[in-house]
A = this chain, B = another copy of it.
């Protein structure tokens, strides 16, 4: 089979919002669909699953068109073999957790006993062996989400569509469920699309990231490529970098605001510059010495961030800086405080826009 399991170009018009996303997923590949709220991720999954008809474009699985408005092709959702975890679970309220999971296998022709056995296995795998007889309303949020995941996986779908399948899980369960999902996806020779807001989930599970903003793909590539060279604010935030755009002239990038950043990378023309918040040093006075990039800034806010504190700065350059609690105390970093920020040219990365 040479056709990729999933090849789609999703064009959907939905009351003012337009989605236009090409997607190709290779056999066994897991693609993470990332993007801010309202970017169109759920819409994309719904279009793939056949719950939202395309305006144009196509959905092709293993070379067969499932939806192609131009060619008047349409295969209904129930004949697509797509497994879907919905963002709001949509567990059948009248069925027990077990029967929710057994629903798909039953539809594949298994008898009640066999379907329930398979369902029980899946519940076990997501750590809910003891909750088989509960109704959805008697489950906690995280329990319900795992049942939804088990329900989608139990049909052994050709294409898996996971809409934030781990969002409601606690840290530990999340790790375990992620590992379980990872195992499953590794064996899976179909296509899998994972929507998530958690970069850790994306990095742990996906082979490739597709970033969608306002209905369009803004960046695409493997984790290393995307994390090294973010191209939008959203991606920069996601991977934890300060991102700026400007015109580069060798080692200097002139930003639109007028400030010029020095970098050890040499590029020419339109370029991005990034540096991590940890690379920003804060000083009470203008620092002397090596850092090539220094500017006066005002503290806009301070928040805990892991063991350190993250300071939001405004000024010539809006940036986030990670500093130790000791530094915060010493510099009296309260909102409104004036400081000097410094970043070494060697800590920045510049690349063409």
Residues of A within 8 A of B (CB): 15, 35-39, 41-42, 87-88, 138-143, 146, 163-164, 167-175, 178-179, 182, 197, 199-200, 203-204, 223, 233-234, 237-238, 301, 303-306
Known: A15-B138, A200-B304, A304-B204. A38 touches B169 (CB 8 A): no
* Closest chain B CB from A47 CB (angstroms): 14
- Report the Cα distance A142→B164, complex, angstroms: 11
Contact A164 B168 (CB under 8 A): yes
Known: A37-B170, A141-B88. A304 touches B203 (CB 8 A): yes
Question: 26 A–B contact pairs at CB < 8 A?
Answer: A36-B170, A37-B168, A37-B169, A37-B173, A38-B139, A38-B142, A39-B140, A39-B170, A42-B141, A88-B141, A141-B163, A141-B164, A167-B167, A169-B197, A171-B234, A172-B233, A172-B234, A172-B238, A175-B237, A178-B303, A179-B301, A200-B304, A200-B306, A203-B304, A204-B305, A223-B304
Contacts of A200 in B (CB 8 A): 304-306
CB nearest to A303 among chain B residues = B204
Contacts of A175 in B (CB 8 A): 237
Contact B37 A143 (CB under 8 A): yes
- Report the Cα distance A204→B306, complex, angstroms: 10
Contact A197 B168 (CB under 8 A): yes
* Closest chain B CB from A255 CB (angstroms): 20
Known: A42-B141, A237-B175, A305-B200. A170 touches B35 (CB 8 A): yes
* Closest chain B CB from A238 CB (angstroms): 5
CB nearest to A307 among chain B residues = B227
Contact A172 B141 (CB under 8 A): no
CB nearest to A306 among chain B residues = B200
* Closest chain B CB from A292 CB (angstroms): 24
Partner of A140 from B15, B42, B171, B179 at Cβ < 8 Å: B42
- Report the Cα distance A175→B138, complex, angstroms: 32
CB nearest to A182 among chain B residues = B303
Contacts of A233 in B (CB 8 A): 172
Known: A88-B88, A200-B305, A301-B179. A172 touches B142 (CB 8 A): no
- Report the Cα distance A228→B141, complex, angstroms: 29
Contacts of A203 in B (CB 8 A): 304
Contacts of A36 in B (CB 8 A): 142, 170, 172-173
- Report the Cα distance A55→B204, complex, angstroms: 43
- Report the Cα distance A168→B182, complex, angstroms: 22
Contacts of A169 in B (CB 8 A): 37, 197
Among A36, A146, A223, residue most surrounded by chain B Cβ atoms (within 10 Å):
A36
- Report the Cα distance A140→B179, complex, angstroms: 28
Closest 7 CB pairs of A and B: A37-B142, A36-B170, A38-B140, A87-B141, A172-B237, A203-B304, A170-B197
* Closest chain B CB from A236 CB (angstroms): 9
Contact B87 A303 (CB under 8 A): no
- Report the Cα distance A305→B175, complex, angstroms: 11
* Closest chain B CB from A154 CB (angstroms): 20
* Closest chain B CB from A180 CB (angstroms): 11
